[in-house]
A and B are shown apart, each in its own frame.
Chain A
Amino acid sequence: MSRPRLAVDLAGVAKSYGSRPVLQDVGLQLEQGGFLAVLGPSGCGKTTLLRCIAGFERIDGGRIALGNRAVALPGTHVPAHRRHVAVVPQDGALFPHLSVAGNVGFGLARTQRRGDARIEECLALVDLAGLGDRMPHELSGGQQQRVALARALAPRPRLVLLDEPFGALDASLRVELRRDIRAALHEDGATAILVTHDQDEALSMADRVVVLREGRVRQDAVPSTVYAQPADSWVASFVGDADLLPFTGADPAGRVRTAVGPVEVRSGGPGATHLVLRPEQVRIDPAGTGTGEGPVATVRDVEFYGHDTLTALALPDGTVIRSRSLAAPASVGDRVRVRVVGPVWAVPDGGHAR
């Protein structure tokens, strides 16, 4: 086998509630052992997509295949319990009447449920070894999510679906849990799809990110590509911080003049209308120093985050852009010189995400 087998294959999936389309022509592929994130804002249809893959919803059009078996076509619907797709819901949804071990063993065959090594193994995967006798309500929120993952992994499903599993946890816990869950999934060789609205989550955990907007796939790429080369202005502004500057025409060297001076432009295709200016590309020096061609701007606002600082700058023409730097280089009202580092990605207009 030269190529890894496809674990998930969606093509042209459509779904609507009444007359309102929720998913339109959604296609995505995921290889065995891969980890894909479906990223999109609230209401983009990502939870519906997950429910369609799990078998909780019927699709109106297209095709869903798991392994080499089609599980959903219009008119064909393999019920959820025969798809071998395990779900880790938003709130964990542990069975409150079962112990931790009972929860983890739920999907195992009857004979395996009691004292089986797989249960311990899965608990160890999520760092909860030895807690099998606890009841769900005796666990913290983070622990509950770990149990939910162990429960999903236990029957070795073809696919694990994670539905915003970290949504309600506090930030520090979230980072740690993300890392652990990713490790556990990897260690167990599981194939997984994570559904989230949190770009950090999607970019940091997944091998590949599918950006969903209004029921359509806007981009499907590895995380670094989604960030560095967004498909359009909407994706650019949804994934990461970005200031969009409209531009027209480039010189043969690929440079354009903008409010921040001349910049080098890269673009994936024709029809690009906006520059995606990431704050970390924008550097500032005290006015009067440096020699760059960049204009002088006024500091409007400084947001200090500890590890870095986000500075809002008003350009002479009134455009406001942001700059990210390690220390706080200026105060509100200071005048600074602006320069852009490296080439700038140009995208077609797709609207603003925020």
Chain B
Amino acid sequence: MNHRRTPVALTLPIAVVLGLTACSGGQPSTDTATAPAPDATGATAEGTAGAPAEGDGQLTLYSGRNEELVQPILDRFTEETGIEVDVRYGDTAGMAAQLLEEGDRSPAEVFLAQDAGALGAVSQAGLLEALPQETVDAVPESYRSTDGDWVGLTGRSRVLVYNPDQVSEDELPQSVDELVSEEWRGRVGVAPTNASFQSFITAMRVMEGDEAARAWLADLAANDPQIREKNGHIVADVDSGDIDAGLVNHYYVHELAQEKGVDPEDLSVRMHFFGAQDTGALVNVSGAGLVGDQPDGDAQALIDYLLSEEGQAYFVEETNEYAMIEGAEAPQGVPSLDELEAPKVDLNDLDDLEQTIEMITQAGLL
């Protein structure tokens, strides 16, 4: 077609202007105002964590944990300190990816993660700020970063859930190794896409070596495992008797009870804790770290609050997870953290997820 000089060329810019005004006109105010400009907190005084500058009473939190769980404790924190918390909820891995992509321009000040692996990945990229020693010291050595840039907030134990109608007490295994035997063919539920399962495999690699882990995965895959997307599905299916048993974290039983509005005792599903420092007894943590240069001590205050007796008690009650600080109550219906015979694994060593994923994939479980 010949180049007609249609009026289009001239009118396009106008189209854009019209379009934009039309948009902003018909639009309830967009959030440019409420969203924190990334440098809104950019006070020039670089508050070191030990000597916090005067806070601006506001902080931005990236939460990889669910709003349902986190928001009430944040509200309490705001009530007590007057510090407003802007929270971004997402899944832990997604948040970690976002933090990695944002780099040192991240608007986040605190990262609250479901598991140590995500914290490790962000820490490795050098995006986490060192925590003051007293904060670090409040948490047992095995549940914090060796570099002191993140701490565990709650502990969760691996556990075998089972349905007593299908699994008798004396059938219960002493070790996860038994679960890949013929006896358990087609009976065990696992969630290989879930971070908790992956951490568990990573721990197995650290404790028993890659070959052992690879072999276990291969045996599991050959043993007709019941694969589910989420731990919650496994617990629900065990409770209903669809599958006999499953490898999950301990607090999912509590969660199912809450969803159904009953006491955990009234569910069919039961928990079996592995002992003798078996890999199956791994205790992992959810944790938090400070992201990037801290403009003030607000973010530090939040972490300290979450590690306070009040904060810890909240998690124990609400999620049935283990508290990290000394002298806290144990969750209901489970042995205390001290009673658990968890394997001695440094959680900092569980950061090689890539290799783990590769193995799980090769076994055909992912």
Do A and B touch, yes or no (CB under 8 Å, in the complex)? yes
Chain A interface (Cβ < 8 Å from any Cβ of B):
17, 56-58
Digit string of B1-35 for contact with A (CB within 8 Å is 1, else 0)?
01011000000000000000000000000000000
Whether A56 and B2, one on each chain, are in contact in the complex, defined by CB atoms closer than 8 angstroms, is no
Residue pairs across A and B with Cβ atoms less than 8 A apart, 6 shown, are A17-B2, A56-B4, A56-B5, A57-B4, A57-B5, A58-B5
Q: Which residues of A contact B5 (CB under 8 A)?
A: 56-58
| B38-72 with Cβ < 8 A to chain A | none
Contacts of A17 in B (CB 8 A): 2
Cα A56 to Cα B5 with chains together (Å): 7
Contacts of A58 in B (CB 8 A): 5
| B contact residues vs A (CB 8 Å cutoff) | 2, 4-5
B46 to A: closest C-beta gap in Å: 59
State A56–B4 Cα separation when bound (angstroms). Answer: 7
Our count of residue pairs bridging A and B at CB distance below 8 angstroms stands at: 6
Instruction: Report the bound CA distance from A58 to B2 in whole Å.
Output: 12
A58 CA to B4 CA, complexed, in Å: 9
Report how far A57 CA is from B5 CA in the complex, Å.
7
- How far is the CB of B362 from the nearest CB of chain A, in Å? 61
Q: Which chain B residue has the least Cβ–Cβ distance from A18?
A: B2
Q: How far is the CB of A21 from chain B (nearest CB, A)?
A: 13
B2 nearest in chain A by CB position? A17
How far, in Å, is B277 (CB) from chain A's closest CB? 80
Q: A57 vs B4: C-alpha distance in the bound complex, in angstroms?
A: 7
Report the minimal beta-carbon distance from B10 to chain A, rounded to whole angstroms.
9
B4 partner residues in chain A, CB cutoff 8 A: 56-57
Chain B residues near A57: list those with CB within 8 A: 4-5
Complex: A259 Cα to B361 Cα, angstroms:
99
Q: How far is the CA of A58 from the CA of B3 in the complex (A)?
A: 10
Nearest chain B CB to A229 CB, angstrom units = 36
Q: Bound state CA distance, A230 and B5, in angstroms? A: 37
Chain A residue with the shortest CB-CB distance to B3: A17
Closest to A80 in B: B7
**Distance (whole angstroms) from the CB of B335 to the closest CB of chain A:** 77
Chain A residues near B2 (CB-CB < 8 A): 17
Nearest Cβ on chain A to B191's Cβ, whole angstroms:
59
How far apart sit A57 and B2, CA to CA, in the bound complex (Å)? Answer: 10
- Distance between Cα atoms of A68 and B119 in the complex (Å): 80
Least Cβ distance of A60 to chain B in Å? 13
Q: How far is the CA of A17 from the CA of B1 in the complex (A)?
A: 10
How near does chain B come to A58, taking the closest CB pair, in angstroms?
Answer: 7
* Minimum C-beta distance from B178 to chain A (A): 78
Tell me the complex Cα distance, A57–B3, Å.
9
Q: How far is the CB of A55 from chain B (nearest CB, A)?
A: 9
Bound form: Cα–Cα A56–B10 in Å: 13
Distance between A47 CB and nearest chain B CB, rounded to angstroms: 11
By beta carbon, the residue of chain B nearest A17 is B2
Q: How far is the CA of A56 from the CA of B9 in the complex (A)?
A: 13
Minimum Cβ distance to chain A for residue B91 (Å): 49
A21 to B249, CA, bound (A): 81
Measured between alpha carbons, how far is A56 from B2 in the docked complex, in Å?
Answer: 12
Closest chain A CB from B14 CB (angstroms)? 14
Considering the chains assembled together, what is the distance between the CA atoms of A303 and B266 in angstroms? 106
Q: Compute how far the CA of A76 lies from the CA of B84 in the bound complex, rounded to whole angstroms.
A: 64
A53–B183 CA distance with the chains assembled, in angstroms: 93
Complex CA distance for A34 and B180, rounded to whole angstroms = 102
CA distance A202 to B5 in the complex (A): 29
Residue on B nearest A48 in the bound complex, by CB: B2
Residues of B within 8 A of A56 (CB): 4-5
- Cα A56 to Cα B6 with chains together (Å): 7
